[in-house]
Amino acid sequence: MPTYEMSAPLSDADARKLRSGDVVFLNGIIYTARDAAHKKLNDLLDEGKELPIDLKGAVIYYVGPSPAQPGYVIGSAGPTTSYRMDAFAPRLHSLGAKASIGKGIRNEAVKKALKDYGGVYFGATGGAGALLSACIKEAEVVAFPEMGPEALRRLRVERLPLLVINDSVGGELYVQADLKAVGLA
Amino acid sequence: MRTVSIKDVIKAVRDVCIHANRYQPADVKKCLKEGGAKEDSPTAKEVFRQIAENIDLAESTGLPLCQDTGLAVFFVEIGQDVYVDGNLTEGINEGVRQGYGEGFLRKSACDPFTRKNTGDNTPAVIHYDIVPGDKLRIAFMAKGGGAENMSRVTMLAPAEGWEGVKKFVLTRVSEARSNPCPPILIGVGLGGTFEHSAKLAKLALMRKVDDVNSDPDLAAKEKELLALVNKLNIGPMGLGGKQTALALKIMKSPCHIASLPLAVNIQCHSSRHEEVEL
C-alpha cells in the first residue's frame, strides 16, 4: 500500500493526493480536541469570536490524553471515537481545517465536507495509546485548560502512524458488516 | 466475624486501578498477541502488531494501555462473616481517587449536563453482593466510553427467543462497526429485569476469554453466536478480518413471564479488569 511521510499543517495538495488505504507517517504540529473543545470552538464561531488556533491546514486529533508522568511530555494518547465530532467537523473543514484523526465511522455530512473542501479523515489504532504517545515529542495546552483531559493542546509529532480512512474523492476504508453471511440480509 | 481494615481496602483498590490499567489480563493478552497470525490481510495483521507492541510498551513504561482509563466499575462480594472497620463505599472511592491520581490515569467522570469533570474519577460505579464466607472480593473493571456507548438494552417479546437474541446482538455489532475498537468482547445478559440484564452483561465481561460456561446449553449458544459475529468480517479496528470479537459470554437469570430482557455490553480489545480478595 502507498506510504507517505507528510508534514502538518497539511497542504491542500497533500490532503487531496491521499487515498483510502494509504499509510501516512505524520510529522509537525497538530491540535487535540474532543467533545467539549469542539462545542466550545463552535460556540466561539457562533459568537463571531476569534479561535485560539489557526485552522489553515489544521489537523485535529480527537484525543483526551492521560496525564503525563514525570519525564514524559504526555500520557497515553490514542484516538477517541470520531462520530461524536461529526456535528462540528464540516464547519471546521469549511474554515480551512484539512484533516482529523480518530477512530470509527463518520457520517455523510463529514464525508461530503472532505469532498467539498479537499480534506481527509485519518484512523489511528484505538487502544494503542502508549504506542502513539511515543510519537508525541512536545505537548502544550493552548486553550480551555479548565477542561482537563479535554483541553485543546498543541502537539509536535514525529512519524505518527495513520491510515487514510476517508479521502477527498469519496473513498472509504472501513468495511460494511457482512449481513448476508449471517442470514440477516 | 473477620475484620477487614478499611485501610487495606483503600490500598487494594488503589493498586488494582493502577495495575489493571497497565497490564492486560493474561487471557486477553494471549489472544491479542496471537491474533495477527490468524488474519490474512496485511492491514489486520498490522493492527494486531500495534496492539501487541502497545501492550509491551505499557508494561515497560508504566503508561496506561489506553488513554481512556475508564469509569471505575466494581463488583464487590462481601462475605456475610466479614466486618469492615470503616465506610466501605467511601473506602473504595478513596482508593479510586488515589489510584487515578498517583497512577497518572485519566479522570473521565463528569456531570451529565454541565460536563464538568469531578476531578478524581469518582464516584465509582459499585455493585454489591452479599455472599457466604468471611472474604471480601473486589473485582475492578476500567470501562472505557467508546465501547460502552455501543452497548444496548432491549426488552424482547418472549416469543422472539434465541433467534431474537442472535439477531439483536448481530445487528448491534454490525451497527457499531469500527467504533468500539474491535476485536471486541461481548457480554450478553439475559433475563431478570431491565437493569438486572445490564448488570449480568457487564458481569459476563469479567469472565475469562477461554472459560467454558458450566451450563452446556449456554456454552453451545456462546460458541454459536461468537462464530456468527466473526462471520461479519468487521475485523480489527473495523478494517476487515476474521476476528471481530475475541469472546462472547452469556449470563442468564429467570425473568417475568411477559418479558425477555436482553443487554449487550460491548468491551474494547483493551479489556482491563482484575480481582483482589481480602
A34, A38, A111, A153: the catalytic one is A38
Q: Give the domains, in start order, of chain A with CATH numbers.
A: 3-165 (3.20.130.10)
Cβ A69–B62 below 8 Å, yes or no? yes
> Is-contact B154 B265, C-beta < 8 A?
no
Number of A/B CB contacts below 8 angstroms equals 165
pLDDT of res. A1: 80
Nearest to A106 by CA among A165, A49, A48: A165
Question: Whole-structure pTM over 0.95, yes or no?
Answer: yes
Q: Quote the CA–CA distance of B58 and B23 in Å, as a whole number.
A: 7
Q: What is the pLDDT of residues B81-120, one digit of tens each?
A: 999 999 999 999 999 999 999 999 999 999 999 999 999 9
Q: Which residue has the cell 425477555?
A: B260
B163 contacts: CB under 8 Å, gap ≥ 6: none
A46 contacts: CB under 8 Å, gap ≥ 6: none
Q: Read out DSSP for B35-76?
A: HGGG--SHHHHHHHHHHHHHHHHHHHH---SSS---EEEEEE
What does each C-alpha distance from A128 to A141, A180, B46, B144 come to in angstroms? 22, 32, 12, 13
Determine the residue among B18, B22, B68, B234 to mutate to test chain A binding: the one whose Cβ has the most chain A Cβ atoms within 10 Å.
B68
ipTM: 0.95
Stretch 94-113 of chain B: residues touching chain A, C-beta under 8 Å: 104-108
Q: What is the pLDDT of residues A14-68, one digit of tens each?
A: 999 999 999 999 999 999 999 999 999 999 999 999 999 999 999 999 999 999 9
Cβ B237–A123 below 8 Å, yes or no? yes
> Is-contact B270 B65, C-beta < 8 A?
yes
Measure B115 CA to nearest chain A CA, in Å. Answer: 8
**A38 is an active site residue:** yes
Strand-pairing partners, residue B189, are: B251, B263
Does pLDDT of B140 surpass 90? yes
- Max Cα–Cα distance, chain A, nearest Å: 53
Q: Does B193 touch chain A (CB under 8 A)?
A: no
Measure A144 CA to nearest chain B CA, in Å. Answer: 12
pLDDT of res. B204: 98
pLDDT of res. A185: 86
> Is-contact B25 B65, C-beta < 8 A?
no
How many C-beta atoms lie closer than 10 Å to residue A71's C-beta?
6
Q: What is the pLDDT of residues A168-183, one digit of tens each?
A: 999 999 999 999 999 9
Q: Give the CA angle between residues B130, B147, B118 to the nearest 5°.
A: 70
Cβ A105–B238 below 8 Å, yes or no? yes
